[in-house]
Amino acid sequence: MILIKAYLSKCLIRFLMHKISTVIITKNEETNIERCLLSVVDFSDEIIVVDDFSTDQTPAICKRYHVVFVQNEFKDFAFQKNIALSKAKHALVFSIDADEEVSEKLKQSILAVKSNSDSLFYSMNRQTNYLGKWIRYSGWYPDTKIRLWQKEHARWQGAVHEVLQPKPQEVKHLKGDILHYSFPSLQWHISKLNHFTDIAAELMFSRNKRVSLMKMLFSMKFNFIKKYVLQLGFLDGYHGFLIALMSSYYTLLKYAKLRHLQSKAKK
């Protein structure tokens, strides 16, 4: 009898808890997706993966975890994430990238929200692993993100650095980190910089933005000083130096590609 009462009590608690839809977008994430899924399964009442027709083992891994798996052609990050958002059947949504993982402390914080949701938006810190080192400075931590919210109150906007709109006024901060495994190698970082600067240059050009050689040189120098000195990147050692260099390189590529688009338009 006692066991039956305990079981019924547990069922009632589960019934009264707020349910969470976890949403993820993927493209050839076989090295990351299983770690991500394992970190969210304990608090997720459904997991939705919107995949850009991966050609690796991403679909097979996702299906092993019985997720809602949808394939959709990628247009931009906000568009793809909003597709995932539209598939969510629960009011409370948690968004995580495939190369991220929920820390144990953050997992407990999210479970507490399920028991008592008293806010429309929840933020959390994100810590990034760069070439095997967890970065604490360089403007990378705390990289506070809103990732848990009542889905009817905001959607994603932005082709590259997507953000939730309308901008939340009141946000409750949760303890614990999202762990970000985004930079496995220097070659990977360089290829991503090349990809994202293509998008950034085209976006600036479409908005009729222009850049002078002086502005390009000044911005490169400023970005290095900002990361390495003002944001204490030197405390991250060699990795902090690389991050500052890559930030400067990103600026160089972005503006150089913009100037190239300007030159082509004049011909």
Q: pLDDT band for position 267 (50/70/90)? A: confident
pTM more than 0.85: yes
CATH architecture designation of domain 2-183: Alpha-Beta Complex (3.90)
The pLDDT of 70-80, averaged and rounded, is 95
Q: Is the pLDDT of residue 159 over 90?
A: no
CA-based diameter of the chain, in Å? 85
Residue 136 has pLDDT above 50, yes or no: yes
Residue with tokens 């009442």: 45
pLDDT at 17: 85
- Res 30: pLDDT: 97
Q: What is the mean pLDDT of residues 37-62?
A: 98
Which range is least confidently modeled, 20-24, 91-95, 96-100, 204-208? Answer: 204-208
Segment 243-255 shows an average pLDDT of: 97
Q: In the structure, what pLDDT confidence band is assigned to residue 240 with cuts at 50, 70 and 90?
A: very high
Distance CA 135, CA 236 (A): 6
What pLDDT is stored for residue 122 in this prediction? Answer: 98
Delimiting residues of CATH 3.90.550.10 domain(s) in the chain: 2-183
Identify the band that residue 264 occupies on the pLDDT scale cut at 50, 70 and 90.
confident
CA angle 245, 249, 252 (to 5 degrees): 145
Query: Given this model, what pLDDT does residue 207 score?
Result: 93
**Which range, of 5-9, 23-27, 57-61, 135-139, averages the lowest pLDDT?**
5-9
In the prediction, which pLDDT does 158 show? 83
Task: Give the mean model confidence (pLDDT) for residues 223-227.
Answer: 97
Cα dist from 157 to 80, 150, 166, 205, 261, whole Å: 10, 16, 9, 19, 25
Choice among 96-100, 167-171, 177-181 with the minimum mean pLDDT: 167-171
Q: Are 119 and 170 in contact (CB under 8 A)?
A: yes
pLDDT higher than 60, residue 58: yes
Yes or no: say if 34 and 59 are a contact pair by the CB < 8 Å rule: no
pLDDT at 33: 98
Find the mean pLDDT for residues 196-217: 92
Average pLDDT over residues 122-139: 98
Lowest mean pLDDT among 25-34, 63-72, 98-107, 157-166: 157-166
Predicted pLDDT of residue 3? 52
